[in-house]
Structure 1
Amino acid sequence: MLTPLVDWLRAQDDDTLADLLRLRSDLAVPPPADLTVLATRAGIRASVHRACDDLDTVALHVVEALVVADADSEPVPVAEIARLLGPDLPRAALDVALATLRARALIWDCGGGVALVPAVRDVVSRFPGGLGRPAAGVAASSDLPHLLAAVDPDERRVLETLAVGPPVGRSRGGADPASPVSRLLTRGLLVRVDADTVELPRQVGLALRGDRPLGGLTLDPSDLATTDRGVDTVDGTAAGAALRALRQAEQLVAFWGTSPPPALRSGGLGVRELRRVAREVDADETTAALLAEIVVAADLVGESDGVAPEWVPTTGADVWAAGGPEQKWAVLARAWLDLPRVPGLIGARDDAGRPIAALSDGPRRPTAPRDRRRVLAGLAELPAGTAVGGPDALAGLLAWRAPRQGGRLRDEVVRWTLTEATVLGVVALDALSTPGRTLLADPARAAAALRVALPDPVDHVLLQADLTAVAPGPLEPELERELDLVGEVESAGGATVYRFTETTVRRALDAGRTAAELHDLFATRSATPVPQGLTYLVDDVARRHGRLRGGAAASFLRSDDEVLIAEVLAAPAAGSLELRRIAPTVAVSPLPLAELMDGLREAGFTPTAEDQGGAVLDLTDRGRRISPRRRSGPPRAVEPDPEQLRGLVSRMRAGDALAGLRRSTEGGRAWSRGPGGATVETLRAAARERRSVWIGFVDGHGVAGEQVLEPTSVGGGVVEGRDTVDGGLRRVPLHRITSIALVEE
């Protein structure tokens, strides 16, 4: 007879119960009222499945042995479990596995043996240990050894093949009666399941396996091949990858600010738009999809409202762009770590055969953050700077530790996680970088860790004769902003190459820089001589730039050169710009100033915008922006506080005690409060005799409640007493008492 799980839980100390709530956190949500509720939840199928997901290979072997032994029906001695598992499993390893299952309340001690939660049977396969179902008849008789000894070689081959597992095979019902399968069916050593399937009974499989009833066991994970890359090498490589990922993310946000891609009607980003992003950021489509997922998760980009929604940067992207490289990287890395999606699924086909689009619901997986952390935690166990032999080696180790986690994509998730982490610099050369290790342990300090890994910012560039500049490392923020304005990034990474063209120089002049300021920038910030070609380029663009001056009238155009004004008015574009001359050197237009400037540039002129004081006005297009969604992100799994767990255990103990006192009063006498003094007299008698009283009452909100008190005083319309559960002093108004009963000793 099985002792109920709740009785076993009541016999455990508070630390054991708190540990159970820590290992199976779903049992504590919402907080159980008492231990009966806890025991009921611990046996629910869904909760049992979650608990078994954390078991390693040895513990799952033990679970299979318990199922084979029917421990969910009758207690099974530990010696019988050891016999089923065979001589390969040391007793110490068995004890550890049993302690693991016991700590999770999947098993409990009962009648000199071990009992199993019935729902665990649903966790294992249909054929636990590769064994078939028990059968009656010959297979269960004492003649089984003699029958097995009498089979011929063909029949034994069939039996031994099925004994290895799985224990079912294909065999048509109309097969030759003289065939080995037909002969075995006749003698009861095989059982027909249906017209095409036969099954090896469990008793026959156990007999054939001898002293290893559950077959061979995988007791230890295979050795993980590692290579020492060196901490400095790993961190330096990771820093370069982080800078490249930042540059690509910035390019993506800027690109979508000027050319927002439409959101698919079914949700997500179209394949053609993803390819455009890949070309823009100079990456493959897999990396482009990852970056798109991350910037959306970080709320740097969002889906706009309207009839035709688009993917548009948010105002949060401007705040993000103002930070240093380490702060920007930390935002992206944390968004990736907590991303409840699997970007590796993008491009694959769903169950209906449709391709999974980026930013759609297809890659959504709520367990993705847990799986991602699990992969990184496996790398974190290795010494700093140590790399694994490859994704497959790490996948094998993690599969042994938790075979049930990850589902059918278990091993693919490991490979995808390492690839994504390498793009971001969390992993480099198959080793966890120092910033990645910090991100996993303390995300708030991740930026500081990357700052240490990044090379010191440089304050100079190397100007080349081909109108390029090479930045030999991350630049000081001010110098980087100036070069982004006057140049175009041609390649990024550990060293960034900027190219200078007529367009980029004009952009700097449009933003208010003068030719003298650009010459000074190149002369003071270059470690190499300024090429003559670059000097000529700046002077040539500056000579033609700003001879026309536009202002808001709606807009006006002015120039000291009357001939130039006449040339503009004679140009074909003048009609569409609606220019009208009001003075020899001034023309006006009803168009906004930005449109006037763009139209003149398209016509081949190089105007400059000015404000009311005549200073250069920067009309650079910053791209579209929408309000951030201010998503809080998925809740992170937080380790329960030990004090909170102990408090929850205390409340369950109190609830259990209250439930027991309530049961003890069910057969006793109870009074309803009436106009007489029965209630007061009962309370006064209990106070004199120092007895406990069960009280039912209604609070000020009309909510019914109950309490077990040991009254100390009755008077003034109030009963005062000690709570028998927690010892606290309680006061209950007499007029709110609805029923009362003495608690029998």
Structure 2
Amino acid sequence: VLVDGAPTDLCATLTDFRVGRDGDPRQIASALATQLQDLADWVPFSVRLLPDSTAVVTGPPSTEVASILGAAAQPESREVASVWRFTPATIRSFFDTGGTGEELIDALAEMADTDVPQALAYTIRDCWRTYGALAVRKIPCAIVSEDVVLLTNIETDEALAVLKFQRLAPTVLISSATPIDTLAVLRRHGYSPVRHSDTGRLELDSATKVRANTTRTPHPSAPAAPRRRESRELARLLQTGDPGTVDDARVRSALSRHSRLLPRELDALTDAAARGAPVSIDYQNSKGAIVRHAISDALQDGNWLLALSTSTGTRESFAIMNIRAVSVGPH
């Protein structure tokens, strides 16, 4: 390769290598790549940023410019002048490589022969403002409970450190183990978790169910089933306003299955559920905060207590297990 009758640097590079079978193609390719890059750097190019969020590049761009445009814009044409279009999606792709909004604006201002258009700068800054507002992560296993105190005890239990917990929310713990291993560890340490499917449905073991013997006589010590009121008696009670008799023991037993209250507090809550007596409860909400409610006209329904809260002026539903304390009378 000669210029004005004299060998160029590229020619000198080629003559430094042995030819034929003794030549090393890898060494020749490496040397040529360096020389060709130097030649490309000598070729002038220009970048113009247009108001329609495009960049027009005349001539072969440098490696740095091509890298930035390739990360932040979409090529639309590659003719004598190549056209690159900036969109929110391509700009976010640049952020995915580790760049920031101001870094992209500064890089464009440095490479371009024109100023960065105001609309393009606004789009870049707006994309950067919302970038990362949402995060997507893979969770091996989630432990969910309305009992925030119970989750806190599990999280701080040194015997369960092998699960490497992370608190995702007041009512959600993340375990680093699989659901099967997490269940096994929790049960081995005295907890009684159940497994839910990905859609939140309870998953039961497929063990064979034993059918009860319908002819079996009840155990002599088993308590008799509570007597159901006839419809006529219920109608009479509604007309007369007579509250009738309430089985306090049955109400107390139903409440105790879902609560962790002291005996005297359980008695007060039983009186509230059986007769509507006003009481004050300290209730732990879904955020873990303890809120005091003065309630009356309470009714127990499964593991829930439905009552009129004078604190809010509306009827509220309280998970019995989240009632932390009960005191007699409104406060």
Same fold at TM > 0.5: no
Q: Which has the higher contact order (CA 8 A, sep 6+)?
A: 1
- Could you say which structure has the higher helix fraction? 1
TM-score in terms of structure 2 length: 0.32
TM-score in terms of structure 1 length: 0.15
- Could you say which structure has the higher strand fraction? 2
